[in-house]
Amino acid sequence: MKKRTGWLIGALALTAGGIGAAVSKRKRKHMHASKRADVWARPGMLVTFRAELMPGRERDERTFRVKQLLSSGRVSLHGVDGEHAEKEFEPVQFDRPVA
């Protein structure tokens, strides 16, 4: 193999590695951005506490409106003190009529 051919193959390998690293970085950045947008609650949304947490209360008495979504993934509610996690609520039912 001639000296120039070696240089050419080396340059091509270096370029391919650089392009591969750039594409990988871009994919990772895009993946993280899409995960942040995927949240379980939005401000103004109705959420219902699980019956085990508020025994003896009807569904309407356990339903509250989300005031604020916190950076930790928890929510603050209108009419209830404190921060609450997703596992404290019943799964969201999109086919349920809004009261």
0.95 surpassed by pTM:
no
Which tens digit of pLDDT belongs to each residue from 6-21?
Answer: 888 989 888 988 898 8
Segment (H or E) for 21: helix 3-37
DSSP 40: S
Which tens digit of pLDDT belongs to each residue from 31-55?
Answer: 655 555 567 888 999 999 999 988 9
**How much of the chain exceeds pLDDT 70, in percent?**
84
Which tens digit of pLDDT belongs to each residue from 74-93?
Answer: 999 999 999 999 999 998 76
Segment (H or E) for 81: strand 80-84
